């Protein structure tokens, strides 16, 4: 599955929701909430201004420059969050 949205020099402002049975998902430059689920595959999310909810049953989750609340669940895989500029609670 490939989803591409191009905005001329701006963030995607709407809520974005993606799901996949298998395969990697990469998303960047979202100004609203992001909800991503995958049964099998890695999630790579970068520069999301709104809340992030990310879940994978089998795969890694990498998040860069989150702007707000982050909720992740990885049944089997690593979770990496970089560029946190607010409080972090684990």
For residue 76, the model assigns a pLDDT of 93
For residue 16, the model assigns a pLDDT of 86
- pTM of the entire structure? 0.84
Q: What is the mean pLDDT of residues 49-54?
A: 92
pLDDT tens, 8-43?
A: 456 667 788 898 888 899 998 888 899 999 999 999
For residue 7, the model assigns a pLDDT of 57
Residue 73 binned pLDDT confidence (cut-offs 50, 70, 90): very high
Residue 8 DSSP class: T
Closest CA to 70 of 83, 42, 7: 83
Structure tokens at 4: 């591409």
54 within 8 A of 69, measured Cβ to Cβ: no
């Amino acid at each position: 599955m490939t989803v591409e949205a191009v905005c001329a020099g701006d963030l995607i402002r709407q809520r974005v929701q993606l799901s996949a049975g298998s395969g990697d998902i990469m998303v960047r430059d979202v100004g609203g909430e992001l909800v991503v689920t995958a049964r099998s595959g890695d999630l790579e999310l970068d520069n999301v201004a709104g809340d992030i909810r990310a879940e994978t049953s089998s795969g890694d989750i990498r998040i860069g420059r989150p702007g707000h609340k982050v909720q992740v669940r990885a049944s089997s895989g690593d979770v990496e969050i970089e560029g946190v500029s607010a409080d972090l609670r684990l």
